[in-house]
Amino acid sequence: MASRVQQLILGLGKNKQANIATASSSFLRFKKLDTSLTTPKPVFENDAAEIGKGHEFITQTFPSHYEVANRLEKYASAEFVTWAAAYGLGNIVQTGSAAPYAYTITPLNPGTTLELPYFSVVEQVAEGGGNSIDNLYIGCAVEDFLYQFNYGPGRQSSKMTVNWVGSGLLTTPSGITVPALTVENNMLAASMALSVNGTDYVATKRILSGSIGWKNNLLLNAGFFPGSGLQNGLQVRGRMEIGARVPAFQFTARLLYGSPEYNTLVAQTTGTAALTVQHDANNAVTFTFQQMAFQTAENAEADGIVAVTVTGAPQYNATNGVLTVTTQCGISGIAQ
């Protein structure tokens, strides 16, 4: 017998871990689009390059460390975007005593901490009366997230991708009972409101596609510090700190007579960029770049229509920082 990849049961930690080594106590079960299964990779060194053996071949191997990482590609639901932004940015305020709960999310202030909230990931695949995969990855952090929107029908018009990295800590079998699938409220791009530097790109029907991203550039090697810990004789990370973080914003819009992008670029005019998508009034997400100039504005085409692709240069605003994500969804306690 064998198992199909659709049997994957994927659970992501809902509440943040108390520390990098203590697993989340509650999980959200999500569907995803990519078929990648997480692999716990024990890394071994060898002595092939060492001299004195009389030859160039391996005579011995040595345990080094664990590497754990994977990606989550999903249609953008209010629930998953909230999860991704909360764990990807790090400072979360949740309000509301009943659904819908409101989340206000900003990047960590590195003057207070360099560590994002950690979460656990559980993957299970049933096979032959048991599980061919049943792993709990403990101490995981978001390396980057990317929200993408596109013209065209259906859920593909609004997607969210997350890359995450694990500390290497692993429990097999997981011992986790993953809850039922989370009811997700997908947010189609057709619901979008987009205003960039004072221009409403939806009202003029110009906007075609774009993306909003955040990359933490986690300091992964620094996680293997003296005393960081061992598992099966291999090193595991005892911390994962943010590196030089990079926000990103790009969009493509139809180019019209009088379109302001080139002048905005040349003048280096700054303003806010706010993108809202929603499923309904209770399930919505708004990304706000608090201050942004344009980095490039390049002429392009889409389906034969002349367009302009703008790459933004998000700036730090002294009062409001770089990026704010506000969400509403029916799930309480994400990254709390």
Binding residues for another protein (CB under 8 A): 91-96, 102, 104, 106, 108-109, 111-113, 288, 319-321, 324, 326, 336
Residue at 274: amino acid letter: A
CB of 239 to another protein, least distance (A): 17
Q: In what order do the strands lie in the sheet with 230-231?
A: 41-46, 61-67, 234-235, 230-231
Between 156 and 317, CB nearer to another protein: 317
In Å, how far are 62, 110, 261 from 322, measured between CA atoms? 44, 13, 21
CB of 9 to another protein, least distance (A): 29
Between 184 and 241, CB nearer to another protein: 241
Beta bridge partners of 334: none
Cis peptide before 100 (omega within 30 of 0): yes
Between 39 and 104, CB nearer to another protein: 104
Give the number of other CB atoms < 10 A from CB of residue 218.
Answer: 25
Burial of 109 (0-12, 13-18, 19+ CB in 10 A): exposed
CB of 57 to another protein, least distance (A): 54
Cα 192 vs. chain centroid, distance in angstroms?
20
CB of 112 to another protein, least distance (A): 4
Between 35 and 112, CB nearer to another protein: 112
Give the number of other CB atoms < 10 A from CB of residue 215.
Answer: 19
Q: DSSP 3-state assignment of 154?
A: coil
CA distance 141 to 138: 10
Between 96 and 173, CB nearer to another protein: 96
Between 69 and 114, CB nearer to another protein: 114
CB of 302 to another protein, least distance (A): 33
CB of 114 to another protein, least distance (A): 12
Residue at 147: amino acid letter: Y
